[in-house]
Each structure stands twice: as C-alpha cells, then as structure tokens.
Amino acid sequence: MGYEGPLANRGEGEGPVREVGVAPFRIGATPVTNQQFAVFAKETGHLTYAEREGWSFVFHQLVTDPQAARGRVAGAEWWVAVDGASWRHPGGPGSDSGSKADHPVVHVDVADAEAYCAWAGGRLPSETEWERAARGGLDQAIYPWGDEHPAQSRTRRCTIWEGAFPDRHDRGPDGVGTSRVRSHAPNGYGVYQAVGNVWEWTASPWSVDGLVAEGERVRRGGSYLCHDSYCNRYRVAARDHSALLDSSGNVGFRVAVSRDSASL
C-alpha cells in the first residue's frame, strides 16, 4: 500500500510504501448509481443533506440555471453553490438524474452514503480495502491498469479532465461530468472506474503521520475534474479528504461487505 514516486503529493500521507493486512471482503464492482440510490430513497424516504439544506456545489460548466447560483468558492471559482442542486438534480433546477440512471450518484455526504450502505446490508470500505480493490492485483502499479498514463493509451482508460482546466474540455461540453459506471474496462478484480469519474467516500478518518483530523473522511480515486495541472489524484495510492457534511457534484461511493456478513 502507498506510493513514494515522483507523482506523490507530499504531505498527504501517500507514503511510505508498506505492507498492510486486510481481512477478506467484497466491494461493489461499480460506484452506487442514480438508479440504485433512487430505489433506496423511494423505499426509505431518505432525504440527503443537500436536499434538506436546499443547495449543493456544482462545477461551473454543469450549472443548468445561472439564476440559482448563490456564489462561488474563493480560490476554486469553478465550484458554484447552487440552490436546488441535489442527487435528483445534479446540475441544479432543470437537470434530472433520471436521465443518467447508470451514472454514479453524487451530492451525497458521508451520512447519506452510510445510510445507503446500511440499507443494502453493507458499509463503506476502509481506505485500505479501497486501495486493495483498486489495485486489481497489480503490485505497486500507479493506475488500476498498470503504469501507462491515460494520455498515452490508445483507448480511454478513465473519466478525467482532458484539456485546459477548468475552462476548456477537449471532448466538448458533452464530455464534462460523470460517465456511465461501466464506461471503461475493469481492473483485474472486476472493479470498474476505481479512478476518475467520482471521488469515493471511505470509512477511514483523515490522518497524516498519525495526526487525525476530526470530522473529516478520506476520499479516494479522483474524479472527472482531475487533471495533471491541478489534481493528479486519479492514482490508486492518491488521497484526499473532506468534511463529513461536504456535498458536491463529483463525490460518490461504493458498498463493501465483510466476508462473514450475512449479506453475502
């Protein structure tokens, strides 16, 4: 587990490379989709934090109604606080997750993800479990498929930013945002989109060098906004963190289950 090479983000606890034990487990082949989350919400009546608060953060090119924007994040102006944005309306008013049934659900905080996992008979994966699954059986490879940079591949390996971030996407407006959860080939364990597409919540508190940040969780995998010029975290060892209540249009999750669970 871990990485110490030239791509490492210093101070974020990627290294040292170390051996870590993990009990047998199973993990979702894909992040939880809009369709799956819709079934959960219908059966339980669950309202996400974004729905209760009435707004969430949306990438600026995905805002569907500029009149719903209430402000931008200082220093990261591509993030817009949008009234009405939620998992049901990922771009705000006028958008509909129903048209993206097989895309990962977004605008969910940790409690929302944990509620879904409990309903499904599972839990969020630990950071160690997530990295084990994302590696796909490859020892110390940078990406789930090996060491080849996505830009060097003849086939599209993952959903990340292609162009000059944050304004020009080389795939055009239709290329911005999430993609279907099985858009790219799985890794050696059958895990799809372990990097890119959406950040994924884990059950692990954020810590570096043994110092734990209260109220923050580790996120893994990067998202459709990752780009070498800004965020090269679409690597299996890369780490990031966010507050428990954070909700945005590029964070989702997948479900894990312990081997001895009755759900298996």
pTM of the model: 0.96
Indicate whether 250 belongs to any domain.
yes
* Residues ≥6 apart with Cβ < 8 Å to 81: 55, 56, 57, 69, 70, 71, 72, 73
Domain that holds residue 160: 25-257
Indicate whether 4 belongs to any domain.
no
Q: What is the DSSP string of 41-96?
A: HHHH----HHHHHTEEEEEGGG-S-GGGEEEEETTEEEEEEEET-SSSSTTSTT--
Indicate whether 40 belongs to any domain.
yes
CATH code for position 151? 3.90.1580.10
Crossing angle (nearest 10°) for helices 110-119 and 34-44: 80
Tell me whether strands 211-220 and 240-243 are parallel, antiparallel or unpaired. antiparallel
Indicate whether 12 belongs to any domain.
no
Per-residue pLDDT, 262: 54
- Tell me which amino acid residue 1 is: M
By the 10 Å C-beta count (0-12 exposed, 13-18 middle, 19+ buried), 174 is classed as exposed
Tokens of residue 7, six digits: 């791509």
Check: CB of residue 230 under 8 Å from CB of residue 82. no
Indicate whether 15 belongs to any domain.
no
pLDDT (tens place) for every residue of the chain, 264 residues total: 999 999 999 899 999 999 999 999 999 999 999 999 999 999 999 999 999 999 999 999 999 999 999 999 999 999 999 999 999 999 999 999 999 999 999 999 999 999 999 999 999 999 999 999 999 999 999 999 999 999 898 889 999 999 999 999 887 666 899 999 999 999 999 999 999 999 999 999 999 999 999 999 999 999 999 999 889 999 999 999 999 999 999 999 999 999 876 554
Indicate whether 78 belongs to any domain.
yes
The Cα 196–Cα 68 span in angstroms is: 28
Per-residue pLDDT, 264: 47
* Residues ≥6 apart with Cβ < 8 Å to 222: 160, 195, 196, 199, 231, 233, 234, 235, 238, 240
Containing 104, the helix (H) or strand (E) segment is: none
Per-residue pLDDT, 172: 66
Tokens of residue 203, six digits: 């059950």
Mapped onto helix, strand or coil, the DSSP state of residue 159 is coil
Tokens of residue 4, six digits: 């110490």
Indicate whether 5 belongs to any domain.
no
Provide the domain count of the chain.
Answer: 1
Tokens 């008979």 belong to which residue?
Answer: 121
The Cα 52–Cα 112 span in angstroms is: 11
Mapped onto helix, strand or coil, the DSSP state of residue 101 is coil
The Cα 143–Cα 165 span in angstroms is: 21
The Cα 106–Cα 159 span in angstroms is: 15
Per-residue pLDDT, 12: 96
Indicate whether 11 belongs to any domain.
no
CA dihedral 131, 132, 134, 140 (to 10 degrees): 80
The Cα 110–Cα 247 span in angstroms is: 9
Tell me whether strands 240-243 and 256-258 are parallel, antiparallel or unpaired. unpaired
